[in-house]
Chain A
């Protein structure tokens, strides 16, 4: 029950997906819809793990008055206050969505845009031509940027045309496709290793058999 049960459940659930996609009978029985719901339901419940973990960690910080414990209070208050609001109003609630649109969403997109600055300082401090590969990569990157911004064409009329057709439309397509085919094959093999029980870290094996 401890090792075999989970293994069997893994195999069965993946077989159901495969069966209902590839086989006529599976499609007719329409097992996919309830299975998708099963996934979403059980997974949504597990989302509560996030609450428990954060509450436990930050509760501990507050209790021990660890450095920065004040921020932990802010975290827990905003989390639970928003939860109460959401549970009362549902996810379509007026105030609930107002907070989402005017606090969560600008915070989130500003955080994403911070990356622009990190790239800028990394350009200066980290992106080094330390290997042959990195050199090709960086030269190509600069070349592509110049082709994607109007400045390239201003320097030489054919720049964007060259980048679009040869660098991105030819070399990049071939390289990306090769990488992607490799990824598909690798992900496939990982999936099959799991189905064959060779890789079972997720059920308490020690990584590999």
Chain B
């Protein structure tokens, strides 16, 4: 019986090697991989890479650190509340090294407030490295990189307490946020902090837009680490993102034209859906 069932449903590989319906999916991964590879290779050999437009929210990071320096108050950083398997948290790591270096350079306190033990461990190491690279290993204070709680609302409570006691001048929130976004942004705004918020969680974005001075929307935060690094190789990967979007745009235009000209034709949809 088992054998019969297996016989009857033995799947057939598509194009010899792929699972059903995954050819186009894999092609997308491959295309972006190749584009990024090419752009990185161009950058490595010193060829020209297109410039990246200014992203106000990211330019404001240095401004915020500058203001905290002038006021002699700390900069707070919150990497969202999710763990290292979330791409947004990974994007936040790229930002940490930039902020930590700036803080080390200007001798401003850098407070990183964590809700998950794993990003906490990573951020501590990145910060230590950043202070080392700026030649200020003595200024690094491990107590400023804090794990507050793994529970969302207990974490919020602890952050509010820190906001009230240590009065940071700037609050940079960057990563995967949920219900706490509203509470954090409201508290920070009411205390007159300069606030920069970035997340790809669309249900929390509006609160960052309405309550923060600068908001990074969706993809902008995935480009942040590359943008702040100002390295041609990393710029190359951002150019790759743009190319993929151009391809998506063109496919949509072609698809819409086809749908308009011959509404019954499902040719393109069949290809994309079928393979």
Find out whether A and B make contact in their complex, taking CB atoms under 8 A apart as touching: yes
In the complex, B265 has a CB within 8 A of chain A:
no
Contact B19 A24 (CB under 8 A): yes
| Cβ–Cβ contact A176 & B202, under 8 A | yes
Residue A202, interface by CB 8 Å: yes
B29 touches A188 (CB 8 A): yes
Are B245's CB and A202's CB within 8 A? no
Contact residue among B11, B147, B190, B209 (Cβ-Cβ distance under 8 Å from A134):
B209
Is the C-beta of A83 less than 8 angstroms from some C-beta in chain B?
no
Size bracket of the A interface: 35 or more
Report whether B129 and A206 are in contact in the complex, using a CB–CB cutoff of 8 Å.
yes
Q: Which A160-209 residues have C-beta < 8 A from chain B?
A: 176, 179-183, 185-194, 196, 198-199, 201-202, 204-209
Interface stretch of the complex, out of B47-55, B61-69, B166-174, B233-241: B233-241
The answer, yes or no, to whether A95 is at the interface (CB within 8 Å) is no
Q: Does A21 lie at the interface of the complex (its beta carbon under 8 Å from any beta carbon of B)? A: yes
A145 in the interface, Cβ–Cβ < 8 Å?
Answer: no
B107 shortest CB reach to chain A, Å: 19
Residues of chain B lying within 8 A (CB to CB) of residue A21 = 19, 22
Q: Which residues of A contact B29 (CB under 8 A)?
A: 18, 188, 192
Q: Report whether A50 and B117 are in contact in the complex, using a CB–CB cutoff of 8 Å.
A: yes
A interface majority secondary structure: helix
Interface residues on B, range: 35 or more
A155 to B206, CA, bound (A): 26
Known: A137-B206, A187-B200, A199-B90. A181 touches B226 (CB 8 A): no
Complex interface: chain A residues within 8 A of B97 (CB):
201, 206-208
A105 contacts partner chain B, Cβ-Cβ < 8 Å:
no
Is B93 touching A201 in the complex (CB atoms < 8 A)? Answer: yes
Q: Spot the interface stretch: B70-78, B179-187, B255-263, B266-274.
A: B179-187
Chain B positions within 8 Å of A, measured between CB atoms, are 11, 13-14, 16-19, 22, 25-26, 29, 32-33, 36-37, 40, 84, 87-88, 90-91, 93-98, 117-118, 120-122, 125-126, 129-130, 133, 147, 149-150, 152-153, 179, 182-183, 185-186, 189-190, 200, 202, 205-207, 209-211, 217-219, 221-223, 225-226, 229, 231, 233-234, 237-238, 240-241, 244-245, 248
Residues of A that sit less than 8 Å from B by CB: 18, 21-27, 46, 49-50, 53-54, 57, 108, 111-112, 114-115, 118-119, 121-122, 125-128, 133-134, 137-138, 141, 176, 179-183, 185-194, 196, 198-199, 201-202, 204-209
